[in-house]
Amino acid sequence: MIGNFFNMVIPGTVGGDIVKGFYLARNEGAYKGRSSGILIIDRVIGLLALALIGVVGTIYLSKQYSGLLIAYRYELWSILVIISVLLVFFIGFMIAGKNERVRKKLKEIALRVLRQGFFYNMVEGFGAVTKRRRYLTYAFFISIGAQAICLVGLLNLINLTDELMPDIISL
């Protein structure tokens, strides 16, 4: 609830997560930072879900309004490539995170580089999440649903106005 309050009060959408991470880290005891790692994974999943919706929307609109978007074709392809690379990286992260040997090796590297402090425990939180791919998959699809509902609501608000909006506003 504290995180929600700060999401509403502070401009932007990450303010509440920063406060949540601070409170969680303060109260975690021996594993300070583990919950903050889980919060970061949650944000990454939300970003990837929004990126996937953006890719699908961009492909659809580029087919629908190809004449209007022809001037932006290089920018659109660049965005599609970047988002595709991010999605492939995330899927690879999920697959590699399931493998016990890979997790153990990454844990050893993190221990050497980060020592056993806050950031090491944050990486430990990443590992805790990747052990259960099913939860990551559920979180990803729930995030896609939530983002889609928000976008549909915004598009409906745009359609409620009597003003003549350009077709490109959908993009």
Q: Which residues have CB under 8 Å from 141's CB, separation 6+? A: none
pTM for this one?
0.67
Phi, psi of 10 (to 5 degrees): -85, 135
Query: Do you know the residue count of the chain?
Result: 171
Higher per-residue pLDDT: 145 or 26: 145
SS (H, E, C) 97-160: HHCHHHHHHHHHHHHHHHCCCHHHHHHHHHHHHHCCHHHHHHHHHHHHHHHHHHHHHHHHHHHH
Task: Say which amino acid occupies 7.
Answer: N
pLDDT in tens, 33-54: 777 777 777 788 888 888 888 7
Q: What local confidence, expressed as pLDDT, does residue 170 receive?
A: 52
Across the chain, what does the average pLDDT equal? 76
Poorest-confidence range of 36-40, 132-136, 139-143, 163-167?
A: 163-167
